[in-house]
Amino acid sequence: MESALTARDRVGVQDFVLLENFTSEAAFIENLRKRFKENLIYTYIGSVLVSVNPYKELEIYSKQNMERYRGVSFYEVSPHLYAIADNSYRSLRTERKDQCILISGESGAGKTEATKKILQYYAVTCPASQQVETVKDRLLQSNPVLEAFGNAKTLRNDNSSRFGKYMDVQFDYRGAPVGGHILNYLLEKSRVVHQNHGERNFHIFYQLLEGGEEDLLRRLGLEKNPQQYHYLVKGHCARVSSINDKNDWKIVRRALSIISFKDNEVEDLLSIVASVLHLGNVQFAADEQGSAQVTTENQIKYLARLLAVEGSVLRDALIHKKIIAKGEELISPLNLEQAAYARDALAKAIYGRTFSWLVNKVNKSLAYEEGKFPGWRSTTVLGLLDIYGFEVFQHNSFEQFCINYCNEKLQQLFIELTLKSEQEEYESEGIAWEPVQYFNNKIICDLVEEKFKGIISILDEECLRPGDATDTTFLEKLEETVKNHPHFLTHKLADQKTRKSLGREEFRLLHYAGEVTYSVAGFLDKNNDLLFRNLKETMCNSENPIINQCFDRTELTDKKRPETAATQFKNSLSKLMEILMSKEPSYIRCIKPNDAKQSDRFDEVLIRHQVKYLGLMENLRVRRAGFAYRRKYEVFLQRYKSLCPETWPTWDGRPHDGVAVLVKHLGYKQEEYKMGRTKIFIRFPKTLFATEDALEVRKQSLATKMQATWRGFYRRKKFLHMKHSAIAIQSWWRGTLGRRKAAKRKWAVETIRRFIKGFIYRNHPRCPENEYFLDYIRFSFLMNLKRNLPKNVLDKSWPTPPPSLCEASQLLRQLCMQNMVWTYCKRISPEWKQQLEQKAIASEIFKGKKDNYPQSVPRLFINTRLGNEEINAKVLQALDNEAIKYAVPVVKYDRKGYKARARQLLLTQNAAIIIEESKIKQRIDYSNLTGRRRAAE
């Protein structure tokens, strides 16, 4: 927690004990404001947690956050609900002592949500098994059921708990939840029949109408429209945009099944809920004698069926009152006002007793069963008290009186336990205890609860005495009995100035948290909480199993007057105090930041009001009466040892001695601290702040040094790793090269050996000794042949084959020659083919007959032959039809001067003709040619 002190200017301190000006309410609220703006909704006062409702979802309740607080020392992490829950749980496990967590605050401050978050924390973090998971589910699912029947929308809160709840969770020796038990206090039954403007009845009515199936509503005789029911319209806000009744109905139905409700029990329970709505719609009219008569017979039929009673008996019970006087029964009719009172009283009684039955039913499902959880029989208990905070309204009545009396008792217990805890810690540490001056509100508790002279006793006396007792006579009796009490005031007892703010039917009490003015109107009726005898008899005869259990027949025979509501509450509160005194307490104080339920809005006036009524300043003053800060020596030394050269980096001696050396080095004055047996106590926050600031400065140099050391270590480590890696790679590579070289040498030796052996056996038939050599020779010949193949068909060269490949060589040679010929022929163009054909003909004619023929073979024939189109037409005409066999251009050289003259030579079938352009210059017939054969021929 100390780590956040350096940011205290921006986000305040995490513990109000560390406020320098701890007596200033303004400083207290400013610290709250700083933290609220940063979404830091939790702050400590010592071990007390102050929680401000953020009115929005915060990402601080995840499983990761739960694990962060699990098993961690209380002050090691920032303030949180989970820190309180975990601290209580660990104390329960380690010390085997029962714990309790007291959650208080105004309506809308987040008490119910805090309770649910704590239960969720235990459900996630506690050991689990199949049976334990069932108990966890039932513990969690009891909340939506009790909220549906016990919570309602008020002006300040859409889900306000209208009853006080104390839940015990039982843990076995392993720390697993194995059971639970719930106590409920002072259900606001009057809400069933009346709601202020802008408020609603209990959630279950709207959930049933909005989410109930058509078939279910038809069986219950209900319609979906809440406006049809008298008990649901008085607040004029049956539907609220921020509440999803249909979805909540599904959650409640699922929860009922999880906590072991059978289908028929759910049906009976919902029948009772529906009967309350029908009862509100029962109307009366006066007859001629002024007696009330029921005018809505249809509602009576529904009530008779739903409550399983006779309709006529119920009708008579609603409009008559049975009185037993001197052993005789007297039946007297009721007027309209009395009948309406009887109807509303029955509705409140049915709902109130059904709620108590529901709590008992939940308790049965949560009850610890030894057989299901074998092991060590001893179980420990952790209690959760979710109870109304101090209430001050414009109009304060009997309910506010009881609630504020409860808060007085809790404040008294809180101060006593806080002082006791402080004193015990001081004594255990050997520190002298300094008496603390504080406001002891025992004087106010006595004013309310003292026998014979207290307000409750006087109220009961007025309710029980014969005669015409009224709220006014009760006030007069109060004025007469407690008129001299310094914390009590009425209009009659007040001075002239104060009377202006006090009505004649009001009294004022000076509570620990301030003055509250109460109106006595309705005090006697609410305290009596009477239900006429004939209505009780009717309910006792009901065949509805739940109603039958709620209205015990012994009430009819018991002549002892039942306890009043105030006395019942006082007795149950006394038992609650005994329960809490037997446990180690932890406290959560809830604050609402504004009445508009808006996030990020901080209403200073409203918060100052709550700080006062929650007694937070008184709590802070008690906690700061001695020393503001205390820590175990080990924790203190571990955090601040770097500030002293003698304790840094390690201290080998006792932690006590190390802290002594440390504070001496820091220059603590004697009056600023005390050394206990296991802890150091620091009186002033400024001393701690100065130490924390010095640590922050020291952190900078330490961080630089640590970074340099780390970088050096990291680089050296990296270098050594790289060096080792390089050596390993080099070693591996050398080995690889060596192995490759050895393998190559081995292969070379084997090859040479086989070659030599093959050479020796080369003339033998093929055998293992020479097969490699022969294969090599063949391979060598083929590779040599591949490199030295003939380039063309005229190339007659061919490598000499080995003896074993002579035949193959001849075949290959033929194939090669055929392939070259085929390839050559494939490449011949038409012009070249014509040349070859001409050469072939020339060869037939001149080969062996002409001396210079061989020299003319390489010379290509020139294509000078003339076509008919190139011969003059006159010449062709002169030749008549004589066919031209061959025509070629020739050159005539003059005998004198050797002048070249172009001519054409034409060869026909009969003659050779010389042409000059279009003239025939000379014709020589073949028949005129003579010659002789060569001698050789």
Catalytic residue numbers, as ranges: 107-108, 112, 157, 160-161, 389, 391
Give CA–CA dist 881/867, Å, rounded. Answer: 16
Rounded alpha-carbon distances, angstroms, from residue 87 to 95, 176, 622: 12, 16, 22
The number of C-alpha atoms within 13 Å of 92 and in the hemisphere containing its C-beta is 31
C-alpha to C-alpha distance for 624 and 370, rounded to whole angstroms: 46
- Which DSSP string do the residues of 668-688 spell out, in sequence order? --GGGEEE-SSEEEE--HHHH
Per-residue burial over 383-420, b if 16 or more Cβ lie within 10 Å, else e, is bbbbbbbbbbeeebbbbbbbbbbbbbbbbbbbbebbbe
Strands 48-52 and 584-591: parallel
- Dist. CA 820–CA 937, nearest whole Å: 40
Distances (CA, A) of 468 to 334, 447, 465, 474: 18, 25, 9, 11
Helix (H) or strand (E) holding 99: strand 99-105
Q: Which two tokens stand for residue 200?
A: 């609603």
For 542, phi then psi, to 5°, come to -70, 145
- Residue 31, class by beta-carbon neighbours within 10 Å (0-12 exposed, 13-18 middle, 19+ buried)? buried
Note whether 787 and 799 are within 8 A (CB): no
Torsion angle in degrees (nearest 10) through CA of 246, 252, 254, 256: -150
Residue pair 563/571 in contact by the 8 Å Cβ criterion: yes
Give the Cβ contact number of residue 874 at 10 Å. 13
- Given a contact cutoff of 8 angstroms between Cβ atoms, the answer to whether 673 and 663 are in contact is yes
3-state secondary structure of 328: strand
**What is d(CA 468, CA 462) in angstroms, rounded to the nearest whole number?**
9
Three-state secondary-structure class, residue 247: helix
Q: What is the DSSP letter of 386?
A: E
Rounded to 10°, the helix 111-125/130-150 angle is 170
CB burial readout 78-112, b (16+ within 10 A) else e:
bbbbbbbbbbbbbbbbeeeebbbbbbbbbbbbbbb
